[in-house]
Chain A
Amino acid sequence: MQNSKPHILIVDDEKGLRVGTHRLLESEGYIVQSAENGLTGIKYGTEREFDLAIIDLKMPDVDGLEVLQKIKKVFPFTVCFIATAFASYDTAIEATRIGAYGYIPKPFTPEELIYQIEKGYKHRKLLLESERLKKEKEESLLEIASEKSRLKTILESISDGVLVVNKSGEVVYYNNASLKLLGFDEIKIGQQILGNLPEEINEKINRYLQPDSVVNKSRTVQIELNHNSQVFIEAVCSPVLHTDGSFAGVVIVLKNITEFKKIEFIKNQFVSMVAHELKAPVAAVSGFIKLILDKSFNISNEQQEDYLRRSGVRLNGLLDLVNDLLDISRMETKTKQREIEDLDIKEIILNTLQFLEIDIKNKNIKVDINFEDNIPSLKADQNEITRLFTNIFSNAIKYNRTDGSIKVSLSIDKNYLKIKISDTGIGMRPEDKDRMFNEFFRAKNKFTQNISGTGLGLSIVKRIIDSYYGKIDVESEYNVGSTFTIYLPIILPQAGELTTNYVGVQNVTNRNY
């Protein structure tokens, strides 16, 4: 169907008229097809879509109105004319009723026919255009509907709460998460919400509702709620503006920050512990100085010397503590780049023991070393591994008895290097064993009171081992000794493999060795 050449169907049993009309229209540039009776007319007219059809009313086989109806049923936009010599008002009305566009009384002049046909063709074009627009409109409505439902689905899926109020403080939108976070059973659209929201959020919203409010920035508030359990939420209130910049309302985005608050609490607690631990040696040294300087206490010379010596010990402890804290901080912030290299673990163990030789000799401790042959190298950072063994061995010496012993063995266990360190020290009570890797935990009993320590040594050991996806096991008997067994993976999982390998490592390390 081309615009330039409309297709016309002529249905007429009267041969002369049919052929004449056919010729006339063809000569005017139309593409014409003729049917000599009603049935053929129906066949042609329903097989393909004609722009126009001229149908004779009276035909021997099928009535023209029936032909019209059949064609219209299949192609409703084919513009049909009824042509008849028996023109009557009634048939004209009936023809129009069932869908004819026009009525051409016979006989007609070529001018009359062309005029009608052109008019009909214009009508057809209008019909098609309006149909196209209608379809377009339907499609865009469909699009709008699906866009709306998409937005709704997204807003309902997010874990953040979204609540929108207009400038009167009435709810215009809310999602399910906002209900849950605010601990409401229901919110009604159009409901006045300001009185029901937590005071802190109300206050922020109210500031936008003031006539002279600056409405271009968001306001954030953190609040603690107690519906069923303690929940911390953060509410970010932002103005909603019309396209012309005028104020329309406020959108409140609510986020559950309970986990974040818990971490913050742990962090604050750690800082408090650090402050407390730092304060103790400072207080001790300051106390000694005060006693020496204040002559009213009559501290003897020997006593003064003892106080100075003890002050020195406390200051060294303070220095150790600061160093340990810096180590932990470096591990936490990962400021120091790890230098992974092939390490000879035997060499590191022997060097560490050499470094601690004076302490070992002072206590007359016997060191028994048992290294398996063919131990592969360990891929790790030398400083970290040295630190790990320094902490472990200095504990084994510090908490050992005079004339005691330390046993060190090194072997391979599946994909791990297994390092076992046993001492004949004071051991641990079962209840202390659970806490031994906690920061600042130090077992306190009659054996330990004269041993200095920061309470961070084993915590650092645990952090280093964890960072290499290794494991540490402890067996300990109070007043008999402790055995630390360290497993370090020979091949460090690569960043990309971490997830899968880590699970593997976990499975292996969870077995009882």
Chain B
Amino acid sequence: MAVHEKIKLILLVDDDIDLLEQNKIIIESKGFKVITAESGEEAWKTFQEIKPDAVIADLIMEHHDSGFVLCHKIKRSEHGKNIPTYILTSATYDTGFKFGVTTKEEKEWIKCDGILNKPVVIDELLSKMESYYEN
């Protein structure tokens, strides 16, 4: 698979340690190596150290917008601007928090390559990462 050539190491961020561990197992079962972080702050440090090939971050962590802040930092960084970065959250249209990365305004403010719903559907993640490189 083309994705595996590009992506070997994934940084997975979530402050819910149960979900973090579950998603790590699921993603690793597809042949990726996963490093975890439990807050936006910790994730930014880890990101700079390990320079992952993709980032999947929870939205609401130490602050309501921790995931957005992390993605902004990543997308502004030299290494981060060229790797797929996703927000993983249950706070989407389903739960009444209305946002996505579809409108022009949203794209301007939300610096990530897509929003993933919790719980992670691994096939959805794979196809999102694949289309990142196709585009």
Residues of A within 8 A of B (CB): 268-269, 271-272, 275-276, 279-280, 283-284, 286-288, 290-291, 296-297, 299, 310, 314, 444-445, 449-450
Contact = CB atoms under 8 A, between A and B. Distances in A.
B19 A287 contact: yes
B121 to A, nearest CB: 11
Interface centre among B39, B90, B97 (most CB of A within 10 A): B90
Contacts of B96: 268-269, 271-272, 275
11 contacts: A269-B96, A276-B95, A279-B90, A280-B90, A283-B90, A284-B19, A284-B22, A288-B22, A291-B26, A449-B15, A449-B17
Contacts of A287: 18-19, 22-23, 119
Given A276-B90, A280-B16, A288-B22, 10 more contacts: A268-B96, A272-B95, A272-B97, A280-B19, A283-B119, A284-B22, A287-B19, A297-B26, A449-B17, A450-B17
A279 B96 CA distance: 13
B29 interface: yes
Interface residues of B, number: 22
Contacts of B118: 279, 283
B28 to A, nearest CB: 10
Contact of B62 (A268, A271, A291, A445): A445
Given A288-B22, A296-B29, A444 B39 contact: yes
B61 interface: yes
A314 B95 contact: no
Contacts of B23: 287
A449 to B, nearest CB: 6
A176 B96 CA distance: 38
A444 B29 contact: no
Given A272-B96, A280-B90, A283-B119, A444 B18 contact: no
Nearest to B18: A284
B60 interface: yes
Contacts of A283: 19, 90, 118-119
